[in-house]
Structure 1
Amino acid sequence: MVCASNRPAPGLGLECADCDIKGLSICESLDQGDFELLERIGRTVSYPAKATLSEQGRDASFVSNITSGALRLSKLLPDGRRQVVGFALPGDFLGLSMETTHMFTADALTPVKLCQFSRQGFSDLIDRKPRLMRAVLNMAAHELTMAQDQMVVLGRRTAEEKIACFLIGMRGRYGRIHGPSVHVPLPMTRLDIGDYLGLTVETVSRMMTRMAREKTIVIVPDGVRLLEVARLEQLAEM
C-alpha cells in the first residue's frame, strides 16, 4: 500500500517515441507499429523518493518498466527479518513472473518514473507478439543467472570480495545505461547493501573505509569513484 503522501503522480499517456531507455528494455523487441498497442494498455507514473510502489503479497494488477530512478526490492522473512533481493534500475522490468500477487516489496530509492501496464493487457500482448515473448524469456533467464550468481556471492565470498562484486556489478549496470565510467552512483544505504550481501552494516562500512584508505576507491557524496578497477575486478572473479 502507498501512503497518501507517497502516491504516484497522476498517470499520463505513454510517449514511446521519446523514451530514452527503449533500447535497454524489452520494448526493443517491438516493431515501430507495435508501440501503438503498448500505448493503449500503458501509462506513465512517477513516485517520489522513499515511496513504496508495491508490497509483498498484495494484488499485482500491473507490471512496470522502469524508465528513470532506482528501486530497492526486498522480501520480508517469516521471522520479521528483511532480505534485500536486488536493486532495479532504468530498463529493468517488474513483474516478469506475471504472478497475481507481488513477490517483493518495491521502495523508491530516488524519484522514480515507470511505464505501467495492466497485467492482463500485457499478457494478452505477449500472446500476440512472439518477439516480445522471447524478450521476456531472455530477461527472465538473465534474472535467473543473476540470482544464481548472487547465491555464490552470499555463500562463498569473503566480505571484501562481496563488496568488490557489488561495486563492479553496479558499475556494469550503470555503464549499460550511461556508458563506461569509474563513477558508480549508490542511491541505497549501507544497511541496504549489507542486507543484499549478507553482511552487517558495520562490516560494509569497515570494508568500504578500508578500500578508501588503500586508495582502491574514493567515497563521494552520491556513491564511489573506482580508482583500482583491475583490483576490484580481480577480487570479484576470485
Structure 2
Amino acid sequence: MSTFDIKSVGRLADAKPRPDGAESPCSACSVRHMTVCAPLNPLELSEFSSITNKTSIGAGSPIFDEGEPAEHVFNVTEGLIKVYKLLPDGRRQVTGFLIAGDFLGLANEETYAYCAETVTPAKLCRFSRKKLEGMLQRYPQVERQLLSLASHELAAAQEQMLLLGRKTAKEKIASFLLRLSARYDKRGLSANPLHLPMSRNDIGDYLGLTTETVSRTFTQLKTDGVIRLLPHSMVELSDLDALEEIAEGL
C-alpha cells in the first residue's frame, strides 16, 4: 500500500514557491504555535509553505503502514489519528492518539516504525522528508523545535509505560481521560465535555485492557457520578476531583 491512497485523500497539488511578500496560508493555522512551523516569522513561513501539501482524509483511512519508506512527515491540523504497532502474534498495541498540533512520521531509519490511521476525518500538512531536511539546514530554529517535539514524544512514552505497568484499570481510564482533556484544553478545544471518538477496543489496545474491561470501567465511573456519557461520543468529567484521586490511586 502506498503512503497515501489517492482514492481516499484526493490528488495532492505540487508545492510551488509563493511570490515575495505573499502571506502564507499557514499564518491562519489555529495550532501553528504548537507545530514545527512555530519559530518562523511571516517571511520564513511563506517559504516554508512552498514545501507543504495540505490534505484532507476520511475517517478510518491509513496514512502509512509500518515498514513503508519514511518519505514524508506530517503536522496534524484537525481530527484524531491513532498510531499503533502490530505484534508478531497478531495482536495490536495502540501507542498513541494524535490531535491537532501533533507531529507525525518522525523516523530514525528509512522506514516507518509504526502504522498511522485516522479515527475521525482529519486534515494534515504533509512535508517531503528530504525537502524538510534541507529547510532544517537553513532554519536551525525549526530543527530545535523538532527536537522539542521529539522530547515531548519521549516524555509521553515514559508516561505510557507507567500507565501500562503500575495502574489498575480504573486508574488507567481516569488518567487517560484527564490527559486527553488537558491536551484538548491546550489546543483551545473543548476539554469538558471532551470528544472521545475512538472505540472502546482502541482504548483497550492503548491501555493494555480488554474491550470488556474498558466498557465495564466506563459504566462504573458513570454509576459513581464521576463522568457522564453524552451523545456524539462526548464525555463529561462530572467530578474532576474524584477523577484525579482515582488517577493517582488515592
TM-score by length of 1: 0.94
Structure 1 residue 232 and structure 2 residue 243: aligned? Answer: yes
Residues in 1 aligned to 2:242 and 2:72: alpha-carbon distance in whole angstroms: 42
Gapped runs of 5+ residues in structure 2? 16-23
Shift of 1:85: 0.4
Residues in 2 aligned to 1:179 and 1:58: alpha-carbon distance in whole angstroms: 32
2:217 is matched with: 207
Residues in 2 aligned to 1:235 and 1:32: alpha-carbon distance in whole angstroms: 45
Structure 1 residue 197 and structure 2 residue 198: aligned? Answer: no
2:175 to 116, 141, 165: 165
Q: What is the identity, as a one-letter code, of the residue corresponding to 1:143?
A: E
Residues in 2 aligned to 1:205 and 1:164: alpha-carbon distance in whole angstroms: 13
Aligned length: 238
Moved runs in structure 1, 4+ residues, more than 3 A? 2-6
Asked if 1 retains the 8 angstrom alpha-carbon contact of 2:70 and 2:107, the reply is no
Shift of 1:37: 2.3
Structure 1 residue 147 and structure 2 residue 134: aligned? Answer: no
Q: Secondary structure at the residue paired with 2:11?
A: coil
Shift of 1:6: 5.0
Structure 1 residue 7 and structure 2 residue 18: aligned? Answer: no
Shift of 1:159: 0.5
CA RMSD of aligned residues (A): 1.7
Q: Spell out the pairing of 1:78-227 with structure 2 (5 A cutoff).
A: 78-97=88-107, 99-178=109-188, 181-221=191-231, 222-227=233-238
Q: Secondary structure at the residue paired with 2:89?
A: coil
Give the structure with the higher percent helix: 1
Shift of 1:180: 6.2
Q: Secondary structure at the residue paired with 1:169?
A: helix
Distance 1:233-1:6 versus aligned 2 partners, 3 A rule: farther
Asked if 2 retains the 8 angstrom alpha-carbon contact of 1:217 and 1:226, the reply is yes
Q: Secondary structure at the residue paired with 2:134?
A: helix
Distance 1:135-1:230 versus aligned 2 partners, 3 A rule: same
Residues in 1 aligned to 2:128 and 2:104: alpha-carbon distance in whole angstroms: 12
Shift of 1:124: 1.3
TM-score by length of 2: 0.90
Identity level (%)? 40
Shift of 1:123: 1.1
2:18 is matched with: none
Shift of 1:98: 5.2
Gapped runs of 5+ residues in structure 1? none
Deviations 1:157-211 (A, max 9, x none): 0000000010001101111112563211111000000000000000000000000
Greater shift in the superposed pair: 45-54 or 35-44:
35-44
Deviations 1:52-111 (A, max 9, x none): 111111112111001111101110111111000000100000123354211111111111
Asked if 2 retains the 8 angstrom alpha-carbon contact of 1:6 and 1:52, the reply is no
